[in-house]
A and B are shown apart, each in its own frame.
Chain A
Amino acid sequence: MHISLDWIAQYVDLSDLSPQTIAHRLTMATAEVEGVETLVRSLDGVRIGQVVSIEPLDDQLTFVSVACGTEQFTTVCGAPNVREGMKSAFAPAGVTIAGGQTITERQVGGKTSQGILCSSEELGMGGGHFGILDLPASLESGAALADLLPSSDTLLEIDNKSLTHRPDLWGHYGVAREVAAIFERPLRPLQLVDVTQYNDLPAYPLTLDDPENCPCYCCIEMTGVAALPSPLALQCRLHALGQRTFNILVDLTNYIMLELGQPMHAFDASRLQAVRVAPFGTTGQFTTLDGQVRHMVPEDLIIWNEREPIALAGIMGGLNSEVSERTTGLLLESANFKDARIRRTATRLGIHTDASQRFEKQQPPANTKTATERFLHLLLESGLHPQIRSRFTAQGTLKDQTRYLDIPTDFFDRRIGNPIAQDRMVSILTSLGFEASITNNTLSVGIPPFRSEKDISLPVDILEEVTRLQGYDNLEPKMPNFSVERVVLNDHLRTQHKARRILAQAHGFSEIHNYSWFDETWLKTLGYEPEATLEMANPSAEHNVRLQTTLLTNIFAVVKKNTALRDHFRIFELGRIYLPAGGQDRIEKNVLAGASCQHERLGSLEAHFRQIKGALEALAEQLSLGTLAFVPATTTTVPWHTPGGYVDITLQDTVVGQLGFLSDPLLAKIAPTAQVVWFELDFDRFEGPIFPATSYAPTSRYPGSWFDFSVVASAQAGFAELVSTLDEFSHALLKKREFMALYQGRGLAEGTASYTFRYWIESQDSTLTREQIEAFQQEYITFLQSKGLRLR
């Protein structure tokens, strides 16, 4: 939102204050000022001109004769709103307008154009482009604009988000009150017309059917008005804030909205017989004054003229009741609508007006009366003399009474953590328009009706008012006092971090982050259709609807992306999967998944697979989980689970994940010339003790020995079968067996392989003797023979 300092200066003396100082102090005490802009008006040489005659040239252009005092000019004008007798701003040749263009005399369509009639934008006044300025007839023809308007203004841009809870700051007077309090300067009162003087007049026929969504509806009827151009100064302010101007009746409602935050609406009274505030009730259509046909639902709140809808409450008026140049009677609406109702309708229809934006912050109802009284004052000031036809008619609760709150003064010291002087509390609150007094260490606060109940109702709300003006900068930081207690460590997270470190520090994996949802396009490419998933109602893209139930599909996408960049790499992600569990129940699991990719020329797939398998074994060991088992799996539920291409990973006979490698056709879609080994583990099943029960085993005082035996066995049968046979061999001296190497090829019979194992033997009681060693070797060879195996 923009705030004009010229406008603020009407209520507070800003002399000696630079815009930067004001912006900084507002930021520190009230709301963030995001920018300070200077608006420079190009007024030099521009004069008030009156349109004397108009001669159409073609569909768009007219040849206009303009009088500026005693001088006469001609101009070719393209404005749609030019009309005979109107007063506007005329820039004769030689004048430089906004944007730096200097007007010259020129010929257009055979006519001499000696200058231009100006729009507000052409004069650097701001505002939306809507034809030339339409100024009051009372302005003296030929007068210099530079004498009538300030040559510049400063606009503060305030972050709307920081005003969410402050409906009072959606108008200049509220901001002026803050500035006055911050700089400890007086705030000039608003000039108002007391409406109680009309209490003897009849009430306007008004029915309020939906007090929940319209806590308060007020209106007043008057005649003897006309939709004339607004005074120049008023137009100037509206333009500076980007508003279009129409006529005094409509412009004043906008002016007051920008001044007090209270939106108003001007109805042509002659179109109305009686007003009713009620929901739309059915579905149907309504045409708003911007000419758009809106589709209504039963809950939408409507202002009715008897049975005819005339305005979309709090958002926009209707085309059928708007003020026009023929208007002589005015029904002025000043109402209060429920934030939620306005918000829902405005959001559904996608209309966010200045009015709806303010109602969504829940304006205090008391503002409806103040706004009406301000309207009447400004109308009179503009030279109009309306006859008031109804009393100020209000339905609902105005809530124009002061609310009181008693707070012990030590509450402030304790919550702020620094002592604050009692008279300072009182002076701050008073400067913000609160009543405040202290007796017996109790602060009695009167909350003014212009502050919203939502914003101010609890002691902490008063605390904020006092502290922000006292200045957060002035607070002395203090560490809290509390007893030392042991922090309960999160074993859960510590295990996750440990796993991350093991994979990155010992096994060359790089950690990646992926999104939490599937990519439907990629799933189709992979030929994967997930089972039950959680689905988003408003995904960011059509192909990102379902939450992931495996991390691997997104990991495969990352593999594909990186194959062009690296010939070998390892990646992992420790992320979440999301599973529906009926209704609003869901299960979130921590999952550890990864992939290792290497170009096929860099090594055998078997060795590659064994490296990743080894990494997982080491991980389980480091996490003190015990030994993982890898069980060949045969079912195919997902495309990367190819029989013979993956194993189930089990821990104490429970399946905790899978490890496998990709093969065609899937491999061809992801990394055609590479090997891809993948794994996915249910990490919640992977939690071992944080402080594992590692226990030192004494080593023998006597040196042991080791022997390498190369055993020739069937390659088809596989390693696991050979090992289960070798497991049958036991010997008192045998300490451990280690697999060293595999050999196939020259010197071995077809279909056989040589497996080299290292056997460690050792005695706790003595140094091994030659006899003992030879006996061991002999026993082992005999064992092998008994199993039909032989040494290479």
Chain B
Amino acid sequence: MQEIRTQLSEDLTAATTSQDIEAVRVRYLGRKGAITLLRKNADFSAMSADEKKRFGQQFNELKRFAEQQIAAAQARQTSTTLAPPSIDMTLPGLNNHLGHLHPISLVQLELEEIFQSLGFMILDGYHVETDFYNFESLNIPRDHPARDMQDTYWLKNGLLLRTHTSANQVRALEHYGAPVRAVFPGRCFRNEAIDPSHENTFYQLEGLMVDREISVANLIAVMRTVLTAVFHREVTVRLRPGYFPFVEPGFELDIQCLICAGEGCSTCKKSGWIELLPCGLVHPRVLEFGQVDPDRYSGFAFGLGLTRLAMMKYNIPDIRLLNSGDLRFCEQFPAAV
């Protein structure tokens, strides 16, 4: 068998055309080929069971070797002789089907995933709200000066366009009770004059976590975790006092400027910090409005400006672009998150 093997290799080396290779194949593997005959002519009656077995193994090995060698020779032959069709592979790729998602959707989708990974539900809410959910239940009774801060669009029937996604806090507490962990993204409205940094229609994402023994230290840790995920890097946060009637204590959360790492630059107005989101421990009265016992439960709430975040993330200098419908703007954003 070794002789056949050596001879086959020599024959294949000598074969220069595909016809030559085919001839080699017939000579060895054809019906009257050397290898085929090897088996046909074998006298199995003269062999012991062990010998038969060994013959079978050697024969199969030889046959496989021959097949492989011949196939490889054929492949070499093909690749050296057939030229591929000539196309201009430097022409640009064709893509007729990709559109664009709105930057707010992109940021919202990303945040929803982050919050879900931390065990928050995502809830939707009404745009048209009642005074109760938008103000009263958030510890902002009629004539409260905090109503000044949010110029409200009132409807003729006494309803209003929600001024913040906080309007969902008491709805969520009523519906799910405590404990609850939820975020509510959505559109909000304030009667403001529009300029490059003010819009009357914008997006927020409110978050609420109510459980036994929720503390300020928890709030800081969760916010730091979320923001690290949002900005894809370690974020330094700080709290300072801020006033919002529905939290006590209330905070403004700043992040260390990501552009200058706290050194002070034009983005952070030389302060090294960027005011990012208001937050605080849920006011006991808000818990009561949501039928949750403030002696048994505590919680924190925070409000992320989705519009602001989208502007930061995509370097959008003018808030008015977001609702402009201008395709030169829309087409700059990806279709996939």
Interface residues of A (CB under 8 A from B): 27-32, 161-166, 339-340, 343-344, 360-361, 414-418, 458, 460-461, 463-464, 467-468, 472-473, 475-482, 484-485, 487-490, 492-493, 497, 500-501, 503-516, 534-540, 547, 554, 557-558, 561-562, 565-566, 569-571, 576, 578, 580, 583-584, 586, 588
Q: Which residues of B sit under 8 angstroms from A509, Cβ to Cβ?
A: 99
B307 to chain A, nearest CB (A): 10
Residue pairs across A and B with Cβ atoms less than 8 A apart, 7 shown, are A31-B241, A418-B215, A490-B124, A503-B99, A510-B327, A513-B325, A514-B325
- Stretch binding the partner chain, chosen from B6-14, B42-50, B55-63, B221-229: B221-229
Q: Determine whether the beta carbon of A500 is less than 8 Å from that of B101.
A: yes
Q: Which residues of B sit under 8 angstroms from A418, Cβ to Cβ?
A: 215, 217
A532 to chain B, nearest CB (A): 11
Q: Determine whether the beta carbon of B325 is less than 8 Å from that of A565.
A: no
Given contacts A504-B99, A566-B327, contact A511 B105 (CB under 8 A): yes
Q: Determine whether the beta carbon of A344 is less than 8 Å from that of B143.
A: yes
Q: Determine whether the beta carbon of B122 is less than 8 Å from that of A493.
A: yes
Q: Which residues of A sit under 8 angstroms from B335, Cβ to Cβ?
A: 501, 504-505
Complex-state Cα separation, A512 to B335, whole angstroms: 12
Q: Which residues of B sit under 8 angstroms from A562, Cβ to Cβ?
A: 325-327
- Stretch binding the partner chain, chosen from B25-33, B67-75, B78-86, B126-134: B126-134
B11 to chain A, nearest CB (A): 38
Q: Determine whether the beta carbon of A477 is less than 8 Å from that of B224.
A: yes
Q: Which residues of A sit under 8 angstroms from B322, Cβ to Cβ?
A: 513
Complex-state Cα separation, A468 to B248, whole angstroms: 11
Given contacts A511-B330, A578-B128, contact A340 B217 (CB under 8 A): no
From B104, B145, B159, B191, give the contact of A584 (CB < 8 A). B159
Q: Determine whether the beta carbon of A570 is less than 8 Å from that of B215.
A: no
Q: Does B54 contact A (CB under 8 A)?
A: no
Q: Which residues of B sit under 8 angstroms from A30, Cβ to Cβ?
A: 241
Complex-state Cα separation, A212 to B321, whole angstroms: 49
Q: Which residues of B sit under 8 angstroms from A476, Cβ to Cβ?
A: 217
Given contacts A490-B122, A540-B200, A578-B128, contact A468 B241 (CB under 8 A): yes
Q: Determine whether the beta carbon of A479 is less than 8 Å from that of B216.
A: no
Complex-state Cα separation, A343 to B124, whole angstroms: 34
Q: Which residues of A sit under 8 angstroms from B283, Cβ to Cβ?
A: 460
Q: Which residues of A sit under 8 angstroms from B130, Cβ to Cβ?
A: 584
From A32, A162, A489, A561, give the contact of B116 (CB < 8 A). A489
Q: Which residues of A sit under 8 angstroms from B157, Cβ to Cβ?
A: 534, 580, 583-584, 586
Give the interface centre of A504, A507, A569, A586 by most chain B CB atoms within 10 Å. Answer: A504
Complex-state Cα separation, A513 to B324, whole angstroms: 7
Q: Which residues of A sit under 8 angstroms from B143, Cβ to Cβ?
A: 339-340, 343-344
Q: Which residues of B sit under 8 angstroms from A29, Cβ to Cβ?
A: 240-241
Complex-state Cα separation, A512 to B321, whole angstroms: 10
Complex-state Cα separation, A493 to B125, whole angstroms: 11
Q: Determine whether the beta carbon of A416 is less than 8 Å from that of B217.
A: yes
Q: What 8 additional pairs, Cβ within 8 angstroms, besides A417-B216, A479-B225?
A: A162-B241, A340-B142, A343-B145, A464-B248, A468-B249, A501-B336, A511-B330, A588-B128
Q: Determine whether the beta carbon of B99 is less than 8 Å from that of A538.
A: no
Q: Determine whether the beta carbon of A515 is less than 8 Å from that of B243.
A: no
Q: Which residues of B sit under 8 angstroms from A539, Cβ to Cβ?
A: 153
B-side interface residues, number (CB < 8 Å): 83
Closest 8 CB pairs of A and B: A417-B217, A417-B215, A340-B143, A558-B325, A464-B249, A477-B221, A472-B239, A504-B99
From B99, B155, B327, give the contact of A536 (CB < 8 A). B155
A196 to chain B, nearest CB (A): 35
Q: Determine whether the beta carbon of A480 is less than 8 Å from that of B218.
A: yes
Complex-state Cα separation, A570 to B109, whole angstroms: 22
From A339, A463, A481, A488, give the contact of B121 (CB < 8 A). A488
Q: Which residues of B sit under 8 angstroms from A414, Cβ to Cβ?
A: 213, 215, 298
B239 to chain A, nearest CB (A): 4
Q: Write the chain A residue with the least CB distance to B218.
A: A480
Q: Write the chain B residue with the least CB distance to A511.
A: B102
Complex-state Cα separation, A112 to B313, whole angstroms: 66
> For window 137-176 of chain B, which residues contact chain A by CB distance below 8 Å?
142-143, 145-146, 149, 152-159, 161
Q: Which residues of A sit under 8 angstroms from B243, Cβ to Cβ?
A: 161-166
Give the interface centre of A534, A539, A540 by most chain B CB atoms within 10 Å. Answer: A540
Q: Determine whether the beta carbon of A515 is less than 8 Å from that of B248.
A: no
Given contacts A31-B241, A467-B216, A509-B99, contact A485 B327 (CB under 8 A): no
Q: Does B323 contact A (CB under 8 A)?
A: yes
Q: Determine whether the beta carbon of A477 is less than 8 Å from that of B217.
A: yes
Q: Determine whether the beta carbon of B98 is less than 8 Å from that of A504.
A: yes
A432 to chain B, nearest CB (A): 13
A470 to chain B, nearest CB (A): 10
Complex-state Cα separation, A129 to B128, whole angstroms: 48
From B105, B124, B179, B201, give the contact of A515 (CB < 8 A). B201
From A504, A512, A516, give the contact of B161 (CB < 8 A). A516
Q: Which residues of B sit under 8 angstroms from A538, Cβ to Cβ?
A: 152-154, 191
Q: Does B136 contact A (CB under 8 A)?
A: no
Q: Determine whether the beta carbon of B161 is less than 8 Å from that of A507.
A: no
Q: Write the chain B residue with the least CB distance to A561.
A: B325
From A463, A516, A586, give the contact of B159 (CB < 8 A). A586
Q: Does B331 contact A (CB under 8 A)?
A: yes
Q: Write the chain A residue with the least CB distance to B179.
A: A482
B296 to chain A, nearest CB (A): 12
Q: Which residues of A sit under 8 angstroms from B252, Cβ to Cβ?
A: 32
Q: Does B303 contact A (CB under 8 A)?
A: no
Complex-state Cα separation, A497 to B335, whole angstroms: 12
Give the interface centre of A31, A361, A492, A536 by most chain B CB atoms within 10 Å. Answer: A536
Q: Which residues of B sit under 8 angstroms from A569, Cβ to Cβ?
A: 327
Q: Which residues of A sit under 8 angstroms from B112, Cβ to Cβ?
A: 493
Give the interface centre of A472, A492, A515 by most chain B CB atoms within 10 Å. Answer: A472
Q: Determine whether the beta carbon of A493 is less than 8 Å from that of B124.
A: yes
Q: Determine whether the beta carbon of B121 is less than 8 Å from that of A565.
A: no
Q: Write the chain A residue with the least CB distance to B273.
A: A27
Q: Determine whether the beta carbon of A460 is less than 8 Å from that of B101.
A: no
Q: Determine whether the beta carbon of A515 is less than 8 Å from that of B217.
A: no
Q: Write the chain A residue with the least CB distance to B126.
A: A588
From A487, A504, A584, give the contact of B158 (CB < 8 A). A584
Complex-state Cα separation, A501 to B334, whole angstroms: 10
Q: Which residues of B sit under 8 angstroms from A561, Cβ to Cβ?
A: 325-326
A18 to chain B, nearest CB (A): 16
Q: Which residues of A sit under 8 angstroms from B145, Cβ to Cβ?
A: 164, 339, 343, 360-361
Complex-state Cα separation, A536 to B127, whole angstroms: 13
Q: Which residues of B sit under 8 angstroms from A161, Cβ to Cβ?
A: 149, 243
Complex-state Cα separation, A461 to B241, whole angstroms: 12
Q: Determine whether the beta carbon of B101 is less than 8 Å from that of A416.
A: no
Q: Determine whether the beta carbon of B101 is less than 8 Å from that of A501.
A: yes
Q: Which residues of A sit under 8 angstroms from B200, Cβ to Cβ?
A: 515, 540
From B97, B154, B284, give the contact of A537 (CB < 8 A). B154
Q: Determine whether the beta carbon of A505 is less than 8 Å from that of B325.
A: no
From A32, A415, A489, A512, give the contact of B216 (CB < 8 A). A415
Q: Does B90 contact A (CB under 8 A)?
A: no
B123 to chain A, nearest CB (A): 7
Q: Determine whether the beta carbon of A537 is less than 8 Å from that of B201.
A: no
From A28, A164, A487, A508, give the contact of B120 (CB < 8 A). A487
Complex-state Cα separation, A485 to B176, whole angstroms: 14
Q: Does B302 contact A (CB under 8 A)?
A: no
Give the interface centre of B149, B155, B156, B326 by most chain A CB atoms within 10 Å. Answer: B155
Q: Determine whether the beta carbon of B98 is less than 8 Å from that of A415.
A: no
B96 to chain A, nearest CB (A): 7
